[in-house]
Structure 1
């Protein structure tokens, strides 16, 4: 409970015995997305005073699920809000391992399934529409802040965003990063074997055909006051001017030893351009280690459906389990958000 005590002492959470056992509730809701003229499926995790049996759905054949109390009442008080963004071809449920830990600490955590880049509906063409994902996060924040069921529980002065892989770019975009379409196209001309470039090539997507105005526009959302990007993609297209203009705390985490981090996501040079940014690496892990732990039968299932990505594989030699990696990364993430929000007091 040390982190929770810190939040209470900092005035970011109301002191309440409801948190003694760190219970977490979860709901899946539909929220309006004006930018898409549609709705978004959003998962929310939050502190709750309710008690009950934690039963995972068991529907996912690949990933272990982290159970929470479905539909439980939200605990009394207001809480910092963390928006999370999944990677290309992923889903928000893949990050439940992190979301439940943050909610147990005393955050409300919310994240959408980004249409067009979510597991089961992802396409190379939709992946180029980077601006849509940034708008998704802003639309989720707007909707929750206006919803009478959620608004009283959200501390609007302490809103952060965290993203993984393509989601890492998404949260950097709401922090103020802008991208250069031609720079991204040149990168894929030169780095054809990088995963993102292979993906675009598989759909015969010409990056130079993407809408230049929308691709390069600012998607900054000043309501978001702290950002953590995990192995962010599209970094080779970030503009130096926009990086130097960021005025909120930014933390970038690369997974793996420096010599093993792919150029597609390596961000030490990016962090160096951002005033006051923190850059860290996580040894003994690989990019996909950030996903939820795999079920024991997952490798055989993935092989049976022709999946070629090493979804369940961690660093060669398995120096650490995925569970151990998650413990370290969750602690890093919690510490970063707590420090940033405390500085705003």
Structure 2
């Protein structure tokens, strides 16, 4: 099982999911995406979107061919969990072909991405990885880049989670559109909360430091949701990967 965190996150951002999968018998590997993590935000522009799938391909290469316990992994039973920009990464890896030309920039927007768009500077197409046999996708970012046509190549079973409120740079309507455009019969869940509800419950210290990440709508119990979330994710991978290890 490989895990891709969101923009500016880090490898243990989804520790509850990681622990639940590990406790269920899965081997789990997560990385800090170079140039796009809590301690290093040096990468800029559209290359952030295309380099992330390549990072996950290299991680999977390492786990299957170089890791000291590689014999414990069944290469026919590989899954992926991705959140936000990590969910975008997952959709690409299982066959999505994003079209960054669909981005619309306001004239006053001078971000690296918009400057590249105006200059017609697009990175190479990101890689797919057919070794990934199932994926859990939570609130994918960069949703504008997907259409029913460029999602049609996805063949792996998907469990998809989306928030009703979005936030954190993620457009709830765009995620709903992408979710409804996925081929096959994905297992879709809608959560009556915002984007950050997919992160584990915050400590008091983190809530004071990052209230926008830790705040939820009135009546939404993030701890209770994560108990259900973790169970559902584990159940999906058990059903699709038949245990994940040998």
Query: Structure 1 length as normaliser, TM-score?
Result: 0.63
Tell me the C-alpha RMSD between the 2 structures. 2.7
Question: 1:206 and 2:115 equivalent?
Answer: yes
1:1-345 aligned at under 5 Å gives the runs 82-123=1-42, 125=44, 128-147=47-66, 149-184=68-103, 186=104, 188-189=105-106, 205-208=114-117, 209=119, 211-214=121-124, 217-256=125-164, 260-261=165-166, 264-265=171-172, 266-300=174-208, 302=209, 310-315=212-217, 317=218, 319-342=219-242
Greater Rg over alpha carbons, structure: 1
Distance 1:343 1:84 in 2: 17
Which consecutive unaligned segments of at least 5 residues does structure 2 have?
Answer: none
Q: CA deviation at 1:273?
A: 2.9
Question: 1:212-232: CA deviations, max 9, x gaps?
Answer: 241xx1411011111111000
Greater fraction of residues in strand = 1
Q: CA deviation at 1:203?
A: 5.9
- Relative contact order: is structure 1 or structure 2 higher (C-alpha 8 Å, sep ≥ 6)? 2
Which consecutive unaligned segments of at least 5 residues does structure 1 have?
Answer: 1-81, 193-199
SS at match of 1:226: strand
Q: Specify whether residues 245 and 202 from structure 1 end up closer, same or farther in structure 2 by C-alpha distance, changes over 3 A only.
A: closer
Q: CA deviation at 1:204?
A: 7.7
Query: Structure 2 length as normaliser, TM-score?
Result: 0.86
SS at match of 1:160: strand
In terms of mean alpha carbon deviation, does 281-290 or 95-104 score higher? 281-290
Q: Specify whether residues 180 and 283 from structure 1 end up closer, same or farther in structure 2 by C-alpha distance, changes over 3 A only.
A: closer
Q: CA deviation at 1:179?
A: 1.3
SS at match of 1:92: coil
Q: CA deviation at 1:110?
A: 0.7
Distance 1:277 1:336 in 2: 13
Q: Specify whether residues 127 and 323 from structure 1 end up closer, same or farther in structure 2 by C-alpha distance, changes over 3 A only.
A: farther
